[in-house]
Amino acid sequence: MANQRRWWLLGGLFVAGLAWASPWDIDMIDSVARKAYSWKMAPARVEGTVQRPSGTVTRASGNGHYQNDYIAAGDRMAPGVDDMHSPYPTDDKTVAQGEHLFQVSCAPCHGIKGEGNGPVTYNKPSDDPKKAIRRFMMPAPLLSGEGAASALRSDGYIYYTIRNGGVGMPMYGISLTDEERWSVVTYIRTLEGAAYKPPEPAPSTTTTPG
């Protein structure tokens, strides 16, 4: 009788162990071993685009997004760019998302509030004289305050700069979705002195007959 109970106990522990392990061991059971060069190779790079670095995670997104294997080329000086605006809501939620992404991706160079003294590019002497060093020849442009470059650039220009990069700035189209890039633009516009001021039209050179 004692032996029978012992076997029942061992059997119960065995079944319980299988039940506890089942959510995790399925990956081991169903894993697929691939031989070298047996998987589908990536297609050749599309002309005029930049290939996404290997190892990055592609997130599902709808039409108009650029979270795919290639980042579409774009010219921030092209006609029509200054007329572009965010196609997404510009509510408090969007601003909060843009602020978070700004702190993660932009603040290291542009500063916490866009004041242009991020630790990656430049330390001000007033912060610590011993660490007042330039890590790059050019500090990051001001995005807020007096003389902010953002006030001189349209939403479309800033969006394209985030997506495709600029002089001394890497592209962030590989790490931010289309909506996320626009949320950063929306947040930048909330910074002091960052409201866009379109250039005044050039004076007309035509003369009226007298």
The CATH number covering residue 144 comes to: 1.10.760.10
Structural domains of the chain, count: 1
| pLDDT of 58 over the 90 cut | no
Nearest CA to 88 out of 185, 13, 191 is that of 185
Q: Classify residue 63: in a domain, yes or no.
A: no
Q: Which domain holds residue 88?
A: 79-188
Quick check: is 13 in a domain? no
Under a CB-based contact definition with an 8 Å cutoff, are residues 159 and 183 in contact? no
Give tens-digit pLDDT for 162-180.
Answer: 988 888 888 888 788 888 9
Distance CA 14, CA 11 (A): 5
pLDDT tens digit sequence for 150-160 = 999 999 999 99
Residue 189 tokens read as 């516009």
Mean pLDDT of 92-111: 93
